[in-house]
Amino acid sequence: MSLISLNKISKTFTLEGVDVRALVDVDLMIEPGEFMAVMGPSGSGKSTLMNVIGLLDRPSTGAYELDGRPVSLKMGDRALAKMRGTVIGFIFQSFNLLPNLNVLQNVLLPSAYVQVTGHPTSRAKQLLDEVGLSHRLRHRPTQLSGGEKQRVAIARALMNDPRVVLADEPTGNLDSKSGEEIISILERLNHKGTTLLLVTHNEDLAKRARRIIHMKDGRLV
**Residue 73, in any domain of the structure:** no
pLDDT, averaged across the chain: 92
**Residue 65, in any domain of the structure:** no
Question: Can you tell me the distance from the alpha carbon of 38 to that of 107, in angstroms, rounded to the nearest whole number?
Answer: 26
**Residue 174, in any domain of the structure:** yes
For position 114, what pLDDT does the model report?
A: 73
The CATH number that applies at residue 103 is 3.40.50.300
**Residue 6, in any domain of the structure:** no
Rounded to the nearest 10 degrees, what angle do helices 146-157 and 120-130 cross at? 140
Question: How many structural domains comprise the chain?
Answer: 1
For position 78, what pLDDT does the model report?
A: 84
Share of the chain above pLDDT 90, in %: 72
Summarised one tens digit per residue, pLDDT across range 68-122 is 889 987 788 888 888 888 899 999 988 999 999 999 999 999 887 776 666 899 9
Q: What string of H, E and C letters represents the secondary structure of 120-132? A: HHHHHHHHHHHCC
For position 117, what pLDDT does the model report?
A: 64
**Residue 211, in any domain of the structure:** yes
Please tell me the pTM assigned to this model.
Answer: 0.90
The boundaries of the domain holding residue 151 are: 34-58+78-220
Distance (Å) of CA 53 to CA 112, 158, 182: 22, 17, 22
Sheet with 69-70: list strands edge to edge. Answer: 18-30, 4-15, 61-66, 69-70
Summarised one tens digit per residue, pLDDT across range 172-210 is 889 999 999 999 999 999 999 999 999 998 898 999 999
